[in-house]
Amino acid sequence: MNSLLKSNNSFLKPALVNKLFLLMLLGGLISGCTSVTSTETGNISAAVAPKAVWTMPAESSAKSYLLTCESDYEKARGLLTELSLSGKKFSTRELLNAVNNLDIVLDKQMNLAGLYANVHPHPEMRAAAEQCEQNLVSLISEISLSRPLYNQIANVDLAVLNQEDHRFVEHMLRDYKRSGVDKDDATRTRIKALNEEINLIGQQFDKNIRDGSRQLILNSVADLKGLPQDYIDAHQPDAQGKIILTTAYPDYFPFMQFAENDELRKKFYVLFRQQAYPENKQVLQQLLAKRYELAQLLGYKNFSEYITEDKMIKTPANAQSFIDKVSLLANPRADVEYSELLKRLQKIDPSAKKVADWQKLYIEHLVKKEKYEVNSQEVRKYFHYDNVREGIFDLTEAMFGVTIRPWNTPVWHESVNAYEVVEKGKVIGRFYLDMHPRDGKYQHAAQFSITSGLKDVQLPEAALICNFPNTLMEHTDVETFLHEFGHLMHDLFAGVDQRWVYFSGTKTELDFVEAPSQMLEEWVWDAKTLATFARNDKGEVIPPALVKKMVKARDFGKALWTKHQLFYAALSLGFYNQDPATLDIDKKMALIQANYSPFGYVDDTYFYASFGHLNGYSSLYYTYMWSLVIAADMHSEFLKKGLRNSDLANHYRETVLAPGGKKDAAQLVEDFLGRPYSFDAFAKDLSKQ
């Protein structure tokens, strides 16, 4: 779930939120989206079900929504008051159930706020969602610092609990201590204020990115030379003879890959990396400062030390060591790949001494077309959005023995579709697809958690919020789609048999949660899988010989991509791994880019201003590369036993996906592989020439 994750055409929104009980909200808030009230409709055979779009006037919708938010806020506060009564005794079962009930209320409204803030077409609703979210953040922070509630949980006798309940209580106690519940009154008051400030600043950072789109204005169709014909047809001159391109993905990435005009590619690149600048420079500085102050109050040297403590990586030093280890491993192959790009660029410009960042996609496309006989414009003809969607559904059904059918329910925009997942005649989960760009919408590609599934209580729900073209897709878009869909199925499968919201869905360590989806990307490079849905307008299936060439061409550029990813990871870690008062954001970014990325910094660009992970993942961007190590190891098992081996797929579902957060991630992987995970498969793939 990418320009930052896979082949430069998508950007993952973090799937998790740091919330106490829900997912400890102490490091900034990134919410998912939620469902709307609906009724079951039975089986529907059409690919897209009949649907109703919410039509209430924006102002009335916002007022109604805020009343609902306020009602649940008061309900949650009442539950907290009851749990905090001095002298009131709870049995262990009563206490844990009461905590879970509190989680259910907060989970519902936090996710609803996240949905509206990121996808609702009316700005009034987006603003109302942010207001609701801030009120809930204040309450969740109060919960995380509540000594009476902490004392109730601390008094639970762990020795008499079963394994799952023991883990639940143990993790809550850990989270409480990390929240600062043991600090003095003045410190806890400041911590609460900081949590609220950090959320507000993070909201502004995300809002500036959503609203920070730029435009490239072209003077004639000639400026589109090199672009596919369907792209040219979709971008005809307006009444003034101008062609307007936006920095939305369906406009930007094809232009950067195919446009022959190097000057225009550079101009578009600069515009793309000026999104949310200069507004977000100051906002980011505030965010870094507040998180640093919070970490210091909690007893940590910096925010990186705080945020890595409960992850698989454990410390910033381990994260930095991992980044450098992968960088050294990638260097030899990256040097060869860069040299090949430079040689191809010199055929166009004999005076060229280096490949610039705005040139890499275009030159890489030429190399793959000429050396590997893979023409991206020909490949994309086999990937119409509707066929891709149905192909991913079919793959999921075949692997996991489920059925996906349309779900007739209200949606927030006419382009959104809704579906149910059915197993043995029973609905086990629901999801939404909001897949195409529009104004005011979240700009990247993400899976959003919705309702946390609880057995016999509520179905799990999730949504994909993406920005794909609704016609022909790049193969990398298909890869991103399947990646995000992997998150979605993880979320749903991990909500089927859960007792506690705390473990429901993708609530594993954050530096593992990408691994299942990264592994699933491999299926879009499998000729048999692609043959089930990749076909052109004539109905012709993508030729196996072409897929073979694509796989061969895929390896070219992998080390360069890895190095660029390490730039993002080191930037994320570095910004939070020091006192922000001593940090020059622009100099630090240029220095890190020069150290890790083979492509140099481009003047007047400010990537950090639209790098949404600096809010949501803070210093944890390394997790994408870390997860790839585990994904490669898990994928090796499918390579041995078959990509479409349903028995293995269901073993994987049962051991890795379905448990959610019931076990440590390392144990989940060991349960699947029958051994601890290894670096070997990843290292072998990256080091091969």
Cα-flanking dihedrals φ and ψ of residue 55, to 5°?
Answer: -120, 0
For residue 144, is it within any domain?
A: yes
How far apart CA 583 and CA 567 sit, in angstroms, is 17
Of the three residues 193, 209, 225, the one that is the final residue of a domain is: 209
pLDDT score, position 5 = 29
Closest CA to 291 of 207, 202, 181, 173: 202
How far apart CA 592 and CA 141 sit, in angstroms, is 34
Q: Cis check for the bond before 316: say yes or no (omega within 30 of 0).
A: no
Q: What single DSSP character describes residue 454?
A: B
How far apart CA 18 and CA 268 sit, in angstroms, is 35
**Parallel, antiparallel or unpaired: strands 461-465 and 446-449:** antiparallel
* Residues 135 and 229 occupy one common structural domain: no
Closest CA to 526 of 673, 396, 644: 644
Q: Do 355 and 345 contact (CB within 8 A), yes or no?
A: yes
* Residues 79 and 94 occupy one common structural domain: yes
pLDDT score, position 82 = 94
Domain that includes residue 230, residue range = 214-247
For residue 157, is it within any domain?
A: yes
* Residues 122 and 234 occupy one common structural domain: no
User: Which two structure tokens, joined as six digits, stand for 244?
Assistant: 């307007």
List Cβ neighbours of 89 (8 Å cut-off, separation of 6 or more). none
* Residues 62 and 178 occupy one common structural domain: yes
| 3-state SS assignment for residue 594 | helix
* Residues 92 and 183 occupy one common structural domain: yes
| Sole residue written with tokens 């196996």 | 544
Q: Do 31 and 461 contact (CB within 8 A), yes or no?
A: no
* Residues 166 and 122 occupy one common structural domain: yes
**Ranges in the chain, pLDDT < 70:** 1-57, 689
* Residues 62 and 204 occupy one common structural domain: yes
User: Which two structure tokens, joined as six digits, stand for 397?
Assistant: 């059904």
| CB-count burial class (<10 Å; 0-12, 13-18, 19+) for 14 | buried
* Residues 121 and 152 occupy one common structural domain: yes
* Residues 141 and 173 occupy one common structural domain: yes
For residue 142, is it within any domain?
A: yes
pLDDT score, position 192 = 96
List the Cα angle 535/537/541 in 5-degree steps: 20
Residue type at position 315: T
* Residues 228 and 153 occupy one common structural domain: no
For residue 160, is it within any domain?
A: yes
How far apart CA 426 and CA 572 sit, in angstroms, is 43
Q: Maximum distance among all alpha carbons in the chain?
A: 82
User: Which two structure tokens, joined as six digits, stand for 601?
Assistant: 């910094």
For residue 90, is it within any domain?
A: yes
* Residues 221 and 89 occupy one common structural domain: no
Q: Do 466 and 484 contact (CB within 8 A), yes or no?
A: yes
pLDDT score, position 7 = 32
How far apart CA 268 and CA 279 sit, in angstroms, is 20
Residue 586's alpha-carbon distances to 213, 320, 571, 583, in angstroms, are 21, 20, 11, 9
List Cβ neighbours of 377 (8 Å cut-off, separation of 6 or more). 228, 258
Residue 105 sits in a domain whose CATH number is: 1.20.1050.40
Closest CA to 498 of 664, 659, 663: 659
Closest CA to 252 of 338, 361, 348, 119: 361
For residue 239, is it within any domain?
A: yes
The total number of structural domains that make up the chain = 2
Of the three residues 247, 272, 299, the one that is the final residue of a domain is: 247
* Residues 201 and 135 occupy one common structural domain: yes
Question: Within 10 Å of residue 586's Cβ, how many Cβ atoms?
Answer: 13
pLDDT score, position 529 = 96
How far apart CA 253 and CA 258 sit, in angstroms, is 9
| Sole residue written with tokens 């029958």 | 674
